[in-house]
Amino acid sequence: MIALVKFLHIAGLLCWSAALVSLPFLLHHYRRARTQSDFTEYRLITHYGYIAFASPAAVVAISAGTVLIFLADVYDPWLLIKLAFVAGMALVHAWLGHLILKSGETGGRYRMPQPLIALALVIPQIAVILWLALAKPDLAWLADLLPALALEPQGGSL
Task: Report whether pLDDT(143) > 80.
Answer: no
Identify the residue with better confidence: 47 or 146: 47
Residue 34: per-residue pLDDT? 74
Q: Letter for the amino acid at 133?
A: A
Task: Report whether pLDDT(127) > 90.
Answer: yes
Q: Around Cβ 56, how many Cβ atoms within 10 Å?
A: 14
Mean pLDDT score, 97-107 = 82
Q: Which stretches of the chain are DSSP H helices?
A: 2-30, 36-48, 55-72, 77-105, 117-135, 141-144
In which band, very low, low, confident or very high, does the pLDDT at 77 lie, cut at 50, 70 and 90? confident
Rounded distance between C-alpha atoms, residue 95 and residue 9, angstroms: 23
Residue 108: per-residue pLDDT? 60
Q: Which residues contact 75 (CB under 8 A, 6 or more apart)?
A: 69
Residue 90: per-residue pLDDT? 97
Instruction: Determine phi and psi for 107, rounding to 5 degrees.
Output: 65, 30
